[in-house]
Amino acid sequence: MREIVFDTETTGLSFQGGDRLVEIGCVEMVNRVETGRTFHAYFHPERSMPPEASAVHGLTDAFLSDKPLFGVRVEEMLEFLGDAPLVAHNATFDMSFLNGELQRCGRPIVAMSRMVDTLPIARSRHPGAKHTLDALCSRYGVDRSHRVLHGALLDAQLLAQVYVELMGGRQIGLGLVAEVKQEAATPVATAAKPRVARPPRHFAPSAGELAAHRAFISSLADPLWGAEATTSRT
């Protein structure tokens, strides 16, 4: 199964409010294994970059000044996406910007039925815990030491590793292997052999053992069963 894990960086929180997509990073996975194929692009937002947004991802007006418009690379991006499910963390946010840009340049939007949101998956797996990408990386031992600022491709690569862990780790397909091994280990029925009953064995104490027991009982100081019980038993 082919899936695309992706992330975006934007000028703000609302496409409808005038914010724009400035970066997208996509990672291809087949059967939840990264293939090494990626798509990464920066876009000129046709507006200024707010300082609070630049503080998150480090993208500035100067850096984006020579980057193409979204429409210039849209076909290349759509070809990479194909018809695969799209995996993102808090996916409704990323999908709103992706579809906003697609609609703005006259392309069909991506059906929301293709969206796989890892945020509710994480909440279901780990209720009450933190569910940020950083927190999930820490939980699953995903190295994020090189993540100083948010970056769409880097975050998509980190999320791809987290997604595998959220969906059961690297044990995909082991259930089938276990079933095959169990089937192979099932013994073939054979004719039952008649069982021969063994004669009963007696384990009565010897005279020496009885004497040793009486000596031990008589040596106990103030036993719970009292002197009378001790006398009667010995």
Looking at 41-197, list the stretches that DSSP marks H as alpha helix, in order from N- to C-terminal side. 51-57, 61-64, 70-81, 91-104, 118-125, 133-140, 152-166, 174-185
Buried residues in 99-127 as b, exposed as e (16+ CB within 10 A)? bbbbeeeebeebeeebbbbbbebbeeeee
3-state SS assignment for residue 161: helix
Q: Which one from 40, 44, 89, 150 is the annotated catalytic residue?
A: 150
Residues 119/89, Cβ–Cβ less than 8 Å: yes
The reply to whether 9 sits in an annotated binding site is: yes
17/181 Cα distance (integer angstroms) = 58
Q: Between the CA of residue 112 and those of 7, 56, 86, 203, what are the distances in Å?
A: 16, 27, 9, 77
Active-site residue, 150 included: yes
Please indicate if the annotation marks 19 as binding a ligand: no
Is 7 annotated to bind a ligand? Reply is yes
Residue from 55, 230, 223 nearest 149 by CA: 55
- Confirm or deny that 101 is annotated as ligand binding: no
Please give the distance of CA 101 from its chain centroid, rounded to a whole number.
30
Residue 212: enclosing H or E segment and its boundaries?
A: helix 207-218
Are 74 and 105 in contact, with CB atoms under 8 Å apart?
yes
Q: Which residues are annotated as a binding site for a divalent metal cation?
A: 7, 9, 155
> So which residues are the catalytic ones?
150
Binding residue ranges for substrate: 7, 9, 52, 57, 155
